[in-house]
Structure 1
């Protein structure tokens, strides 16, 4: 079993060890590999890219995901590179505050704040822990052409929204669906001191702290919007949004099409030896900021179940993982998609009136 000791470390023992192939070296895949190694499993990670992406966006780490990191033995190592997320507001383009993000309620409920961490730091911390544990081989530039040919006791699909593992073992009923918007993300080389999200008509802009001297920002606009049009899309919006865009080099901006997995999968496990984690299982829009968190929760729950059961008990362990994670993750995905519709309303007057009724 895997259990937190209270000081950010973990102890983990299992009923024997087996072999596992983890497909994908993102947050969910690396965290899963760490949990399996702690249980004594021999792990191979297959990554289609020649090197891991280290673009500098920020992840919000919810207290529940912080607990998962503690159980994986990573809590203390990661907390030294995070900043707490507090005092963020939802605003109109003219700067009028409509509501507060529920960060204070989160902190009161869980006894600790949501934390923000840059993606490169999280990836590097996960890689460093795998290296420290030893016994894991990461094979880069390994696109998966035949998932059915993988030979291991356990196969974990952590290969994102276009998951080859999901297609091979779960079919094509659930597939990536575009939602008509794109997101641009970047890092400004100064601290804005003003954080949260600004919701306009069919678009929104967000800013969060990420580390001293820098601000993480993201902008969601209609899918047809090109990079050269992004600054114009937010002309006249309150400070410091125009400055953030003006002083960030467009060559460093990252664009991605907003998609989600639809319809929801009927199971996260198949064949008694295959499991999905992260976006492969429940890719969602980023509006709730829970993509990395759900991947970490998946990884911890899966490896905890597998460690307790051992290779001979894999079918039951995967059923337990599915029962623990599927409905919870899919509720988050549905909530995120619903919030996206609300945030990008074409007639925002009613939306803004409803926001003003929320507790501050």
Structure 2
């Protein structure tokens, strides 16, 4: 066995990290504070680079079995006028494959199946981490994959960076019908998104000012173009999921500490969902970290962590900044600023 590692957090980034470390020959323990793995949520977007990373982790085939391509989408006004095309066709031409969308539970299933296939990974549920120093003393490597409110980050990287509100709350759900319209509709201080997720179903999300309740939501989008009112009318508010949109601020000066601690995913660079890159960046982090660890071995762990930080930090933080900047544009009350932002999107 190469070394011992504990991964704190059993979300997408944590499970992907555990798979990569086990494939590299490490003895791996995953600790998750929840008593059950998170299976809520709707659709994740998977950029071709994230698909490549999943292939290297052995999860690509299972992922593609449940994913759907995302090939065409537009930005619209509430009246339905097209402001811009999202650059999906250009992305597919460049990468040679389309962006994919997959339901969160299906991606979790694929990761769990591969975790079972690699074997000998201990998953401890209901285990909140309160003493990170003790973990570091007991394992060769500690990976914080424990999200925006990361205990690992707070213990090893200080409290200077933390969750910051952006003034919006998001509601998300699934409609049980196909929509011919995909993309986002930008209004005054709010926006609505539609994507495919699987045949016969449509993923939707609405970003609205903080304090908006489920009872308010239908009224805020009344009169918007089809099928937005239909989606809100025909889906049960009891099935809607709500979360406050936050990001990590300020950006961390490093993703690694002490030659044995590393952060991945939201723990390292939580971002607003505007670019749909949250899951992608977590997967890319996990694959880059575990590849560096595999290349350097246990004795070269400090060098491996430095290599990981050099590969991922600036790229992930640029993505987070771009997503936050886009959020400012699309949630503005100034329609001229919104339309300018749409014209600047690459076609």
Q: TM-score if structure 1 supplies the norm length?
A: 0.94
Find the residue that maps to 2:211 and give its secondary structure.
coil
Q: Which residue of 2 aligns with 1:7?
A: none
- The answer to whether the aligner puts 1:320 opposite 2:285 as a matched pair is no
| Structure 1: gaps spanning 5 or more residues | 1-15
- CA drift at 1:350: 3.6
Partner of 2:221: 234
Separation in structure 1 between the aligned mates of residue 288 and residue 324 of structure 2, nearest angstrom: 24
In structure 2, the partner of 1:166 is 153
Pick from 96, 99, 102: which aligns with 2:81? 96
- Do residues 261 (structure 1) and 248 (structure 2) align? yes
Gaps of 5+ in 2: none
Distance 1:353 1:154, change over 3 A: closer
The 2-side partners of 1:84 and 1:33 are apart by: 27
Output the CA distance in 1 between the equivalents of 2:236 and 2:221.
Answer: 16
How far off its partner does 1:74 sit? Answer: 1.2
Normalised by the length of structure 2, the TM-score is 0.98
Once the two structures are TM-superposed, the CA of residue 86 in structure 1 deviates from its matched residue by 1.3
Q: Is the 8 A contact 2:87 2:345 kept in 1?
A: no
User: Where does residue 38 of structure 2 map in the other structure?
Assistant: 53
Please say if residues 56 and 187 of structure 1, whose CA atoms lie closer than 8 Å, have aligned partners that are also in contact.
no
After TM superposition, give the deviation of residue 56 of structure 1 in Å: 3.9
Matched residue, 2:280: 293
Aligned length: 345
Q: State the alpha-carbon separation in 1 of the partners of residues 260 and 52 from structure 2.
A: 26
Is 1:21 the counterpart of 2:1? The answer is no
Alpha-carbon contact 2:77-2:185 (below 8 Å) kept = yes
1:143 aligns with 2:117: no
Please give the secondary structure, in 1, of the residue aligned with 2:205: strand
Contact 2:7 2:14 in 1 (8 A): yes
Q: How much has 1:80 moved relative to structure 2?
A: 1.1
Do the aligned partners of 1:203 and 1:219 also contact (CA within 8 Å) in 2? yes
> Partners in 2 of 1:220 and 1:350 — Cα distance?
17
Instruction: Give 2:268's aligned residue.
Output: 281
Alignment match of 2:335 (pick from 328, 348, 352): 348
**TM-fit CA distance, 1:358:** 5.5
Distance 1:173 1:56, change over 3 A: closer
Q: Runs ≥4 in structure 1, deviation > 4 angstroms?
A: 356-360
SS of structure 2 residue aligned to 1:139: strand
- Does structure 1 residue 180 correspond to structure 2 residue 163? no
**Aligned partners of 1:90, 1:322: CA distance in 2, in Å?**
35
1:333-344 matches, cutoff 5 A: 333-344=320-331
Which residue of 2 is the match for residue 208 of structure 1?
195
How much does 1:357 deviate? 6.6
1:183-233 Cα distance to aligned partner (Å, 9 max, x none): 000000111121100000000000000001110000000001011101111
Q: 1:200, 1:284 → 2: CA distance?
A: 22
Structure 2 CA distance for partners of 1:78 and 1:357, relative to 1, 3 Å? closer
Give the Cα separation in 2 of the matches to 1:31 and 1:228.
38
Aligned-pair CA distance for 1:341? 0.3
Question: 2 CA distance for matches of 1:354 and 1:321?
Answer: 33
Number of the residue aligned with 2:99 = 114
Alpha-carbon distance, 1:354 to partner: 5.2
- Are residue 63 (structure 1) and residue 48 (structure 2) matched? yes
* Greater mean alpha carbon deviation, residues 346-355 or residues 244-253: 346-355
Alpha-carbon distance, 1:104 to partner: 0.9
